Amino acid sequence: MLICRMTTYRKPTLIMFHQTEPRDNLPLSETTFYILLTLAPAPKHGYAIKKEVNILSGKSIALSTGTLYGALKRLLEAGWIEPVAPSVRRNGARTRREYTLTPLGRSIFDAELARLSALTRIARSFIARGHV
Amino acid sequence: MPKHYALLLRLYVLLLRLYPRAFHEEFAGEMQTDMRETLEAASAQGPLAVPGLFGREATGVIFGALAERWRASLMHSRADRVTGWTKSLFALIPFALLILIAVSNATRWMLPDWFTPMILAFIGLFVLIGLARGLPDWCLPYEGLCFGILGLFLLGYAYWLMQPLYQMSSDPTWRTILDSGAMWWGFLVLAPLLLILTARVRWLRPFYERVRADWTVLSFTLYGGLPVALIITLDEYSGDEIFLIGAAGALMLGALVYLRQPTHTLRLAGLAGGIAISLGIVALGKFLLLPTQHWAWRGATQVDLVSRWNEAFHTLAILGWGMLAILLLPALIGRILVSMNGLLRSRP
């Protein structure tokens, strides 16, 4: 519902994430890319995402909790990720809420990977030809 | 966890309250748990790592909360409907009538006998159409005009409500300040009555829902009663037409801003500006006109500067009360409605 409203007003800062074609949402910001990357293999909770983004980026990206949850909220609203229902442990305690990629989020992430691969291939071949 | 880390965590929890309520309800618990783990991990790296980390996290929360608030207000504003030009111009007619009356007085142009009944019928018709259509924005000034008139009739009851305030002090200045608010007191009775009515009557319920979502809708309704207030404020004066036209023009402009602006803040600014400028013009008018007035009760008494300032001050006090009645009262009611909604939601 929110997404439909947002697209109506054509505000550049607000229309990100709201296109239906995966390619229309590209390129992704570095933070979004890393969050989707950490969620690609398995669902994770907020702290695990934060830690893994830090490791994957070679410690160049240290997300603050505020930034992370702001980004997660937008990804949830856009339908790129969804929460996994918390399960109940043996001692009766609930596990923390985890997030996982939706089919839409996965297709956008795949499209971004393909885009980056294509760019890298083009660049490599151009440089290789230049050196020949 | 060491004691001073617990203190930092408590501070962090307080900072999380800066987020909009919906965001806080959804994520604050998770953010708090994450922060606890982050602090524990940082403390393992030594005590020097903790202050830097906390500073970064706190800054992240402050900027994140500001961004979320800005975003929430933008979404809220954008979700509002901007009234179209035709409907907006239609909504300005009650204010334009004030200009027509002032021009008629200034030019000594006698309006035909059928004019007043026709105008009253016209206003009554649009009040009814507005009611039948669930009180859309364009009809609110018409409803407000009725409120202004009804408010005068309810003044006696409102006085009774305000008695405790009168008993607070026997200082004549205090009494003058209270008396300045008298013309708005009817709103104290009418605003809650309107909400009860609109909550109860099914076809009027859209209005109640709109007030619950955006209290300025109620403000705009009460704003429609301002032409009545202006007429009463300048009632005893002669030669006041130019000021009345200026004040009515300011009201029209404020109403137009309210109807045509998409953001909540600008809408509110339109109403506040309209009230402030119109009553400011009236205060200036009274200050300038007072020496030229020949009131029988005053006889041949000379008007000194103090009397002129007193008269202007009296109007500014009316302005202050007007702001309270038109902006603060609906804001308060809106807040109560939202809290009641929260209470209802929390029931199983």
Q: What is the pLDDT of residues B71-111, one digit of tens each?
A: 776 565 444 567 778 888 888 998 898 888 888 877 777 77
pLDDT of residue B115: 81
pLDDT at B300: 57
User: Looking at the predicted structure, is the pLDDT value of residue A19 above 60?
Assistant: no
Task: List the single residue in B30, B56, B65 with the smallest CB-CB distance to A97.
Answer: B30
Torsion of CA B84, B266, B279, B238, to 10 degrees: -20
Handedness of CA A18, A23, A29, A32 (dihedral sign): positive
Q: What is the pTM for the complete model shown?
A: 0.54
CB contact under 8 A, B27 and A69: yes
Give alpha helix (H) positions in chain B: 3-16, 21-44, 49-79, 85-91, 93-107, 115-132, 140-153, 155-166, 172-180, 185-200, 205-213, 216-223, 226-233, 241-260, 264-289, 305-323, 329-346
Of B295 and B217, more confident: B217
- The confidence score (pLDDT) of residue A9 equals 32
B235 with B152: CB under 8 angstroms? no
* B301 confidence band (pLDDT: 50, 70, 90): low
In the predicted structure, residue B342 carries a pLDDT above the cut 60: no
The dihedral sign for the CA sequence B40, B42, B48, B52: negative
Averaged pLDDT, B272-289: 90
Q: Is the pLDDT of residue A3 over 50?
A: no
B160-190 pLDDT, tens digit per residue, is 777 787 777 778 777 777 777 777 777 777 8
The confidence band for B347, taking pLDDT boundaries of 50, 70 and 90, is: very low
- Are residues B134 and B207 in contact, defined by beta-carbon separation less than 8 angstroms? yes
Instruction: For residue A10, name the pLDDT band (cuts at 50, 70, 90).
Output: very low
User: What is the rounded radius of gyration, in angstroms, for the C-alpha atoms of chain A?
Assistant: 17
Question: How many pairs of residues across A and B have Cβ atoms under 8 Å apart?
Answer: 66
Q: How far apart are alpha carbons B142 and B151 in whole angstroms?
A: 14
The answer to whether residue A16 scores a pLDDT higher than 60 is: no
Q: What is the pLDDT of residue B202?
A: 73
Which of A3, A69, A95 is the mutation pick for testing B, counting most B CBs within 10 A? A69
DSSP symbol at A12? T
Q: Would you call B34 and A46 a contact, using CB atoms and an 8 Å cutoff?
A: yes
Residue A126: its H or E element? helix A103-131
Query: Would you call A9 and B67 a contact, using CB atoms and an 8 Å cutoff?
Result: no
Stretch A55-60: mean pLDDT, rounded? 90
Identify any residues that bridge with A44 across adjacent strands, giving them in sequence order: A99
**Between A116 and B266, the higher pLDDT residue:** A116
Percentage of chain B exceeding pLDDT 70: 90
The Cα–Cα gap between B71 and B89 comes to 31
Interface membership of B17 toward A (CB under 8 Å): no
Res. A13: pLDDT tops 60: no
The angle at the Cα of B5, spanning B4 to B9, to the nearest 5 degrees, equals 120
Length of chain A: 132
Long-range contacts of B191-194, Cβ-Cβ distance < 8 Å, separation of 24 or more: B191/B218, B191/B222, B191/B329, B191/B330, B191/B333, B192/B333, B194/B147, B194/B218, B194/B221
Q: Report pLDDT for A88.
A: 64
State pLDDT tens for residues A94-111. Answer: 668 899 999 999 999 999
**Whether the predicted interface score ipTM is above 0.85:** no
Pairwise CB contact (< 8 Å): A70 & B68: yes
Residue A4 confidence (pLDDT) above 50: no
Closest C-alpha among B273, B232, B267 to residue B249: B273
Q: How confident is the model at residue B112 (pLDDT cuts 50, 70, 90)?
A: confident
- Residues belonging to chain A with any Cβ–Cβ distance to chain B shorter than 8 Å: 2, 5-6, 8-9, 11, 14, 45-47, 50, 62, 64-70, 72-73, 96-97
B contact residues 68-107, partner A, Cβ 8 Å cutoff: 68, 74-75, 78-79
* Averaged pLDDT of chain B: 81
Q: Report strand pairing: A98-101 vs A81-84.
A: antiparallel
Quote the CA–CA distance of B99 and B245 in Å, as a whole number: 5
**For residue A44, pLDDT beyond 90:** yes
DSSP run (H or E) holding A81: strand A81-84
Query: Looking at the predicted structure, is the pLDDT value of residue B268 above 70?
Result: yes
Predicted pLDDT of residue B79: 46
Amino acid (one-letter) located at B56 = R
Query: What is the residue whose two structure tokens read 């708005």?
Result: B184
